[in-house]
Structure formats: structure tokens, C-alpha cells
Amino acid sequence: MKVILLNKSAAPVFALIAISNAIQAASQIVVLYDTMDHRTKKYERFVCEPMADKPITAVSGINEELGAKLAAKGFDKAYILLGQFLLLKKECAAFQNWLKVSYGASSCQAEQCALCLLEWCYAFL
């Protein structure tokens, strides 16, 4: 798989979701648009190492409040949340909608979480 990273001026971050969903099964080239807006230290820490047994709050976009809501329903570890992301076939829009509707995540939290898990998948799966 070839990964191409384009800078902020190339396209807005929402293009990452549309492009990745459209080409991930049909192509060996994945185009990632790096806006740096979503890349916090927490995000960088999460995507650069194996998931292991990290708590749900280690995932970018998941704060203590949202993490408590998720943990109350059994999503207490990052790998369990990743499982839900994979069940939704790595479709960021569907995953974001699930987080917002089921757990009250903000659009920003849902997007950051989905992008974090998507990038982790590209790095480790």
C-alpha cells in the first residue's frame, strides 16, 4: 500500500473521510490530507504505537465525560472501540454518527476519534 500525505492547502479534512471510504477496498493508494488541526499530542501518541490495553480515554476525541458514557456501556478499552469501528467497516461517517447519536459526542469529538482510529488502522492493520 502506498500512502500519500498532502499538506493543508491541498484539501479540507472531511475529504480524508470521503476518499478513504471510496478507495480503501478498490485501490492500493491511500491519499491522506494532513490538516494538522486534528493532530493533538494525544492523537500522535495513540497512532504511533500499538494499542495494547489502553483505556478508552487514550483515544483522541474521547475525554473523561464521553469516556465514562462509553465505559458504562462496555466500551472501557480502546480496542473495544476499535472493534466497533471495524464492525462499521471503517466507515468514518457511520462511526461518527454512532458516537453522536448513541453517546452524545460532539461533531468535533466524533471526527477526531474516527480519524484517530482510521490512521491507527492504516499504521497497524
pTM exceeds 0.85: no
Instruction: Return the closest-CA partner of residue 55 out of 27, 79, 90, 25.
Output: 79
Q: Where are the domains of the chain?
A: 2-124
Compute the distance between CA of residue 30 and CA of residue 24 in angstroms, rounded to an integer.
7
Nearest by Cα to 78 from 39, 22, 124: 124
Please tell me what DSSP assigns to residue 28: S
What's the angle, vertex CA 10, arms to CA 16 and CA 63, rounded to 5? 45
Q: Take residue 75 and report the three cell numbers written for it.
A: 466500551
> How high is the pLDDT of residue 39?
83
Per-residue pLDDT of the chain (125 residues; tens, 9 = 90+): 444 444 443 344 445 555 565 555 555 555 454 544 568 899 999 999 999 999 999 999 999 999 999 999 999 999 999 999 999 999 999 999 999 999 999 999 999 999 999 999 999 99
Q: Which three cell numbers stand for residue 70?
A: 462509553
The superfamily in CATH containing domain 2-124 is Barrier-to-autointegration factor, BAF (1.10.150.40)
**Which grid coordinates belong to 111?**
471526527
Task: Find out whether 20 and 5 touch, Cβ atoms under 8 Å.
Answer: no
pLDDT score for 63: 98
